[in-house]
Each structure stands twice: as structure tokens, then as C-alpha cells.
Amino acid sequence: MAAKRMDAGRGGRPDVVKNARGKQSRKGFYLALLGVGVAGLAAILWATQRDPNAGVVTLPTAPAVAADVPGYVRGDSAAPVEIVEYADFECPGCGQFATVTEPDVIKRLVETGQARYRVYLFPVNGSHRNSPAASLAAACADEQGKFWEMHDRIFAGQNEWNSFATDNPKSVLRGYAQAVGVDLTSWDQCYDGRKYVDRVAAHAQAAERAQVRSTPTFIVGNRQVQGAQPFDVIKALVDSARATAGAAAPATPAPAAPAGQ
């Protein structure tokens, strides 16, 4: 009997150790999960409560738009302020902004007439090998009036066609062109003939002249900020530029009084 109890004790001891280790492992997992949640909450609070002027650089003057490189524009040409973005289709930060924040900017600032939106496509050489192809695909869609639809679709599917996903982005980009409703025969001729490769290069040159060093970069008036910004930062820049434009506008002269009065 004693031997039997001793065997039972020996047989049971590893289970006790195993259970204790299991409890410690689960405890560590839950603590790690809690830490991730706290960190995520802190990031959200930081993004929503930080100073909208943090990281904003004031330029001597607002960069001029070259007549031969107008970029792609969305919104009312008479809007008092222009938001300029220098973007790379393969840039993760640009993709984040395009899919998360830009729809809000378009709806609340552009469609309400407070600002117009101008984008220059600035493919980053080297690491983003498929970005020039995406820029060309968007330019060919623009030929049929579908730039912004293609712009949105390319950013939404960034992980499907980027340099990590494929060495042949055309097949994916062609599917996007079809999805947004362009004529594929014309689009193929444009893309395969590299019709707008000079435009892609001109956009890059425009970014370099504006001394853009990273993407996304935003310029509103004469203020520049880098990185995927939340809506509040873009709105603060627009509000500031509108106030400056209003202060600089010449006063409207009062109408002359009718003769005899």
C-alpha cells in the first residue's frame, strides 16, 4: 500500500508542476494581452489629443503649382484653400491615410467647399519597386476620367500588388481598372505603351522642387507636415490657411451712394 501511494505521488507530481506552469503561462499571456490593449489605447488617445501643430513646418512661401505639372485635383477650383499631398502608392503611411482619413477630409472639407485637394504621385526609388507601375496605372485611368476611383482602389489593395506581393503588378492593377469601369482595351494600350511615364517622372520632379523628403507630405498654404495625419491636423491647417487668406484679402469697397443723396 505504501509503495502504491508512493507511485501515485510520483505519477501525480509532474501534473502539479505542469498545471502550475500552465497557470503561469496563461497569466503571462493575459498580462501581455493587457499590455497591448493599454498601448493601443494610449496610441489612440495620443492621436486624438495631441497638439495639431506638432511637427508642422512653416515655409517661407507656399510652393507654386507648375502649369505643366498640375497634379490630380479634386474639389472646387474656387475653394479658398488647397491641400497638397505628395504620396507614394506603395507607402504604408500613404495607404493608411488614403483609406482611413482621406475619405473624411474629402467629405467634410472638400465637398463642403472649404478646400480643394491636389495630389502628386511621388514613387520612392529602390524599395517601392511597383509604385511607378501603380502611378502609371492611375494615370491611364485618369485618361478615362477615373483617376480618383483608381487611386482609392490601388490604395485599398496595396498588399495585393506591392513589391512584397508580386513581381508582376499589372495583372492586379488591370483587375482594379476593370473594377472601376475603364475600357480595358484603351487602358492596356496606355499602360503597355507607357504613355504617361513622363508624367510620373514630372510628379517626382515637382516633389523634389518642393523639397519633399518623405511620403506622405502635406502642404496647406505655406505650412508643411509629414506623415499620415489625423483629420484634426488637416482641418487645423485648413482653418489657419483660410484665416490667413481672409486677412490678406483686400477689403471690398462700399458701393457708391446714388447721386443726390
Rounded (to 5) percent helix, strand, coil in the chain: 55, 10, 35
Angle at 87 between CA 82 and CA 88, to 5 degrees: 165
| Residue 23, pLDDT score | 52
| Residue 22, pLDDT score | 52
Task: Fold for 57-242, please state it.
Answer: Glutaredoxin (3.40.30)
Copy the grid coordinates of residue 71. Answer: 497634379
Per DSSP bridges, beta strands 57-58 and 72-74 are unpaired
Give the helix/strand (H/E) hosting 87: strand 82-87
| Residue 30, pLDDT score | 46
pTM of the model: 0.73
| Residue 57, pLDDT score | 81
Give the helix/strand (H/E) hosting 183: none
Copy the grid coordinates of residue 53. Answer: 501643430
| Residue 28, pLDDT score | 54
Copy the grid coordinates of residue 259. Answer: 447721386
Copy the grid coordinates of residue 115. Answer: 478646400
| C-alpha count within 13 angstroms, C-beta hemisphere, residue 259 | 0
| Residue 65, pLDDT score | 73
Do residues 215 and 122 make contact, with C-beta atoms less than 8 angstroms apart? yes
Residues of the chain with pLDDT under 50: 1-14, 16-18, 29-51, 250-254, 256-261
pLDDT tens track for 170-214 = 999 999 999 999 999 999 999 999 999 999 999 999 998 888 989
Where do we find the cell 494581452? Answer: 33
| Residue 210, pLDDT score | 86
How many angstroms separate the CA atoms of 176 and 180, rounded?
A: 6
| C-alpha count within 13 angstroms, C-beta hemisphere, residue 4 | 1
Neighbour count for residue 204 (Cβ, 10 Å): 22
* Burial group, residue 207, by CB count within 10 angstroms (0-12, 13-18, 19+): buried
Do residues 116 and 83 make contact, with C-beta atoms less than 8 angstroms apart? yes
How many angstroms separate the CA atoms of 238 and 244, rounded?
A: 10
- Give residues with Cβ within 8 angstroms of 57, minimum separation 6: 223, 224, 225
